[in-house]
Amino acid sequence: MALIDVVDMKKSFGDIEVLKQITFQVEKNEVVAVIGPSGSGKSTMLRSLAHLEEIEGGTIRIDGEALVADGVYASTPEIRKIGRRIGMVFQHFNLFPHLTVKQNLALAPKLVKGEAKEKLASRITELLSKVGLADKVDAYPANLSGGQKQRVAIARALMMEPEILLFDEPTSALDPELTGEVLEVMKKLAEENMTMIVVTHEMSFAKDVATKALFMADGQIVEEGIPAVMLTNPTQNRTKAFLARTLG
């Protein structure tokens, strides 16, 4: 059984259909890169998995448990339970500016899981070293660079020990010279077999790290395949046109 199973996902904003019957599966340990022009529905699709958007039709199952079945959402406690298995990293980091790095990391596990201080402290140290920011433990987000903020955001998501990590254009808000450090961390996670869905414009990341690529346009998945193959030899004209534009 697929870890993420999406069938006929549908969503509109007013008259505009942003997601038209999207169907796809993600297996455990897969790293899926979602590419496509802006306005194609990539972010909405991702946000729907994290229940930041509600879909109007279709089914989303996480490890067999239905978040939505045929357009009908599960109960609130059920949704929260499923949500605990999913972490998310945002384009604009969304760190809590009034809290230090350590407090940003500790808040959710403390409040939601009631984790003990000692366990938290060792996990914070471990995760901050993993993202290369052990020395920033007491810094406030305002004193970090964009790349550092995003690495803290990744560590914060990992604190909740999610089984699936969603990335919504994690490097799009960064200066070009800062994207590398974030992609490096994501690559490390992929090597540790974290299941990830990454909406991205970084074609090299898609090619080198992802195990599967989805190309979306106009609210549909136009093409799906092994990244190295799809990015070099796309079968669909829309994919070809998009890649020709982005790869230049």
Partner 1 sequence: MSPDYLLSILKPMLEGAKATILLFVIAIVASIPLGFLLTLAVNSKFKPLSWLANTYIYLMRGTPLLLQLLFFVFGLPLIPVIGEYLVMDRFAAAALAFVLNYAAYFAEIFRGGLLSIDKGQYEAAQVLGLNKWQTTTRIVIPQMIRIALPALANESVTLVKDTALLYAVAVPELLHFAQTAVNRDFTIVPFVMAGLIYLLITAVLTLVFKWLERRFHYV
Interface residues with partner 1 (CB under 8 A)? 50-52, 80, 83-84, 86-88, 90, 92, 94-99, 107-108, 111-112, 140, 142, 156-157, 160
- Please report how close the Cβ of residue 110 comes to partner 1 at its closest, in angstroms: 10
- Please report how close the Cβ of residue 92 comes to partner 1 at its closest, in angstroms: 6
Task: Find residue 17's DSSP bridge partners.
Answer: 12
- Please report how close the Cβ of residue 91 comes to partner 1 at its closest, in angstroms: 9
- Residue (108 or 121) nearer to partner 1, CB: 108
Using CA of residue 179, residue 182, residue 184, residue 186, what is the dihedral sign?
A: negative
- Residue (58 or 87) nearer to partner 1, CB: 87
Task: Give percent helix, percent strand, percent coil of the chain, each to the nearest 5.
Answer: 40, 25, 35
SS3 annotation, 58-80: EEEEECCEEEEECCEECCHHHHH
- Residue (11 or 51) nearer to partner 1, CB: 51
- Residue (41 or 87) nearer to partner 1, CB: 87
- Residue (140 or 208) nearer to partner 1, CB: 140
- Please report how close the Cβ of residue 94 comes to partner 1 at its closest, in angstroms: 4
235, 56 in Cβ contact below 8 A? no
Contacts of 1 (CB under 8 A, 6+ apart): 63, 64
- Please report how close the Cβ of residue 53 comes to partner 1 at its closest, in angstroms: 10
Which residue, chain included where needed, has tokens 């969603």?
Answer: 166
